[in-house]
Amino acid sequence: MTAATERPAAGTDGKNGANLVEVQNLKVYFPIRAGIFKTIQGTVKAVDDITFEVRRGETLGLVGESGCGKSTTGRAMIRLREPTEGTVTFDGTELTTLKSGPLRRLRRRMQIIFQDPYGSLDPRMTVGSIISEPLETHRLAKGPAKQERVAELLKMVGLDPSYVNRYPHEFSGGQRQRIGVARALAVEPEFIVCDEPISALDVSIQAQVLNLLTDLRDRLGLTYLFIAHDLSVVKHISDRVAVMYLGKIVEIGPPDTIYAAPGHPYTRALLSAVPVPDPQRERRRRRVILTGDVPSPANPPSGCRFHTRCWLYEKLGKPENCRTIDPPLREIATDQKAACHYAEDCVKSDVGVAHIDDRPVRHGTPEGALRFAHKSTAELIGEIPEGDIDQALIPSIEEVPAAADDGGDNGSKPN
């Protein structure tokens, strides 16, 4: 377990820290059409007036339940969706009014990794052509240089370069997701929107892809918007976390405060809902179980959108301003903003965090066993690529100092 603090946080070295993407009052509305004439009967306010920034070199986690507008936000940020209102500024260039030519040139610097590794790769294209397509589009390489670049990219994401002529169906979900990552990296982007990149994968494969994304970020200095539907995944990869509910950002801040002292009751409810793989802690924890479903974004509740399900609203005796005034996102601590009239009361509560602010206990490989790993997994699978990334990909099992073999039965030596 490498502590997160070992990586220079965004903003500590000179070039990092400035805003790479700025989102101002972004709104994305979808019309609801009905009837024979398909007249507009209403609007779904998928994203409703959000303002935030992504700093260069950081990973911003964007968390929320389905339908809260997190994917729409991600897509609007690279203009895969046209915003209804508001602006998105990428490295000083205003995106929303950009003409198609300059936009295409700018797209080289921003890419997206999709959730579904099955739907996002063309089944009739080989891996080689999938990865080289962006190179051709942006006229970055051709001929042997292109082949070389594709091989390099495959190695970079931990795939064997000899796979270039295979088709997506020949790969497992995790490998496909690596292909998606290679395609995104092909044009050497600065900013990548990761739209739930590991949600469709199995537990053991999730960790592989998550580690790959972390390694690539650190090595290539990438900036991520990491979209996820629960708070446990983004805790480890994010420098800051934003929580969305019904088209609004309700809380944003560094993980240290978001996970220890959340200022919005919804963040606490989300934290409380995530099951923890520790039976004793599960028995001890007090859950806030939100009642009801997320209201329709076509007809959001008045005032604070969360008040219909809010446990704090109930506890405070249903104060009127929750029903009438939409709370603005305001600073409640250093770098932490929350959109709640009663954020101060919320911070004081221990709801939702009681089970995580304990001393961390992590069960898993017992320390005794670590000394006995006599062969690295990298050796076993032999698909780890050459070059400096292979150091990063070797599991941390090897980082444990070798201890004396206390009489293992077949005499093979620990590393």
Partner 1 sequence: MEEAVSLELTPDEAARITREQRETKAAKSKYLLEVKNLSTHFFTPDGVVRAVDDVSFELGYGETLGLVGESGCGKSVTALSLTRLVPNPPGKIVAGSVVFDGVDLLKLSDEGMRKLRGKEIGFIFQDPLTSLNPTLTIGYQIAEAIRQHMGLSKKASYDRVVELLAKVGIPRARDRLNDYPHQFSGGMRQRVMIAIALSCDPKLILADEPTTALDVTIQAQILELISVLSDEFGTAVLMITHDLGIAAGMCDRVNVMYAGRIVETGSVDVIFERPRMPYAWGLLDSLPRLDDVRSDRLRTIEGLPPLLINVPDACRFNPRCAYARDACRDHEPELTPREEPGHYARCWATDKGGWIP
93 or 412, CB closer to partner 1? 412
43: left (phi over 0), alpha (psi -120 to 50) or beta: beta
- Token pair 């008045």: residue: 302
183 or 229, CB closer to partner 1? 229
Mutual angle of helices 127-137 and 173-185, in 10-degree steps:
20
Q: Minimum distance between the CB of residue 336 and partner 1, rounded to whole angstroms?
A: 16
**Within 13 Å and on the Cβ side, how many CA atoms surround 89?**
14
Q: Minimum distance between the CB of residue 26 and partner 1, rounded to whole angstroms?
A: 23
**What tokens appear for 108 in the block?**
């080289």
**What tokens appear for 4 in the block?**
């997160």
Amino acid at 36: I
Q: Measure CA 175 to chain center.
A: 19
317 or 368, CB closer to partner 1? 368
Residue length of the chain = 415
236 or 323, CB closer to partner 1? 236
Amino acid at 28: V
Q: Minimum distance between the CB of residue 48 and partner 1, rounded to whole angstroms?
A: 19
Q: Minimum distance between the CB of residue 389 and partner 1, rounded to whole angstroms?
A: 13
Q: Minimum distance between the CB of residue 95 and partner 1, rounded to whole angstroms?
A: 30
324 or 415, CB closer to partner 1? 415
190 or 239, CB closer to partner 1? 239
50 or 231, CB closer to partner 1? 231
Short-list 98, 111, 186, CA closest to 150 = 186
User: What is the residue-wise DSSP string for 34-57?
Assistant: ETTTTEEEEEEEEEEEEEEEEETT
Integer Cα distance of 256 and 240 in angstroms: 9
Q: Minimum distance between the CB of residue 162 and partner 1, rounded to whole angstroms?
A: 17
Q: Minimum distance between the CB of residue 413 and partner 1, rounded to whole angstroms?
A: 12
Integer Cα distance of 291 and 281 in angstroms: 23
Sort strands 59-63 and 223-228 into parallel, antiparallel or unpaired: parallel
142 or 375, CB closer to partner 1? 375
Integer Cα distance of 45 and 25 in angstroms: 13
Q: Minimum distance between the CB of residue 291 and partner 1, rounded to whole angstroms?
A: 8
Residue 201: phi and psi, rounded to 5, are -105, 160
Q: Minimum distance between the CB of residue 251 and partner 1, rounded to whole angstroms?
A: 15
CA dist 265 → 197, 251, 331 (Å) = 27, 10, 15
Q: Minimum distance between the CB of residue 22 and partner 1, rounded to whole angstroms?
A: 26
Sort strands 39-55 and 19-34 into parallel, antiparallel or unpaired: antiparallel
Residue 267: phi and psi, rounded to 5, are -60, -45
Cβ atoms of 45 and 247 closer than 8 Å: yes
Short-list 364, 369, 391, CA closest to 378 = 391
102 or 395, CB closer to partner 1? 395
203 or 404, CB closer to partner 1? 203
Neighbours of 36 (CB within 10 A): 5
71 burial type by CB count under 10 A (0-12 exposed, 13-18 middle, 19+ buried):
buried
Q: Minimum distance between the CB of residue 224 and partner 1, rounded to whole angstroms?
A: 13
27 or 281, CB closer to partner 1? 281
